[in-house]
Amino acid sequence: MVPHGHYWDHMVVPSVAKKYGVEMLFNPFQSIPLLGQFKKIPVIHNSEWFTMPDVFWMFERYTGRIRIKAIMKAANLVISVSQKVAEDLMQATGLPAAKFRVIYNGASEAFKPITDANVLDAMKQKFGLPDAFILFVGGIYPQKNFIGVLKAFHAISHKIPHHLVVAGNTRWKSGHDLEWIGRLGIEKRVQLLGWVSHDDLAAIYNLATCFVIPSFHESCSVASNSRS
């Protein structure tokens, strides 16, 4: 069986790096080995462990905070995806600003206006999309405020012909959020697409009447909102 997860990061990778004389290890998704004499650079994408820990399961709420702090202290340089994330992490760890670099996420060239009616119609048929819809994009987990979207949509649904289309996978605590679709009686007006490829998603953006982003916290932005 191939080792994975934390065992892979902290036990297997250091020995492989030593064997092949690795001088620097870069991980684009918030982990690096704590052991090893090579230079280490992780990318930290979010700061919710410190800004809104209650959104996590109890175990991750505490172990995640310890893990991320240890990773950043062991790193030679920490890349964050926004200035807000960097500021949150510096405040939480006391690490100096010189240890952080902000590099914003890029946008795929697929995301652009699409005027080809054939392309748009094909995408509409592929996903069975309604003529008019409001689009929510993102995984369903507490930070995304999906329940807020459902309640807002329910409040205006009797005034508009639109459906609510959701493009994104389910993540932790999603079951509680999804229960609200039935609780509000809007099952026939909400369409869950699951994960959608970037190429398909670009066309869905073009087909939507509007796009909503009601998140409590978005680390990829310059600033983020808190529930407090």
The DSSP bridge partners found for residue 138 are none
- Per-residue pLDDT of 76-101, as tens digits, reads 999 999 998 999 999 999 999 999 99
Query: Which SS3 state, helix, strand or coil, does residue 228 take?
Result: coil
pLDDT tens string for the chain (228 positions)?
445 678 888 889 999 999 999 999 999 988 999 999 999 999 999 898 898 887 788 888 888 899 999 999 999 999 999 998 999 999 999 999 999 999 998 888 888 899 999 999 999 999 999 999 999 998 888 888 999 999 999 999 999 999 999 998 888 777 888 898 999 999 999 999 999 998 899 999 999 999 999 888 777 643 333 332
- Per-residue pLDDT of 120-132, as tens digits, reads 999 999 999 999 9
Answer whether 0.85 is exceeded by the pTM: no
Domains, the chain, with CATH or none: 5-102 (3.40.50.2000), 117-212 (3.40.50.2000)
Instruction: Write the DSSP string, 7-30.
Output: HIIIIIHHHHHHHTT--EEEESSS
Amino acid identity, position 41: I
DSSP 8-state code for residue 105: P
Taking CA atoms, 217 is separated from 55, 203, 211, in Å, by 11, 26, 17
Are 52 and 227 in contact, with CB atoms under 8 Å apart? yes
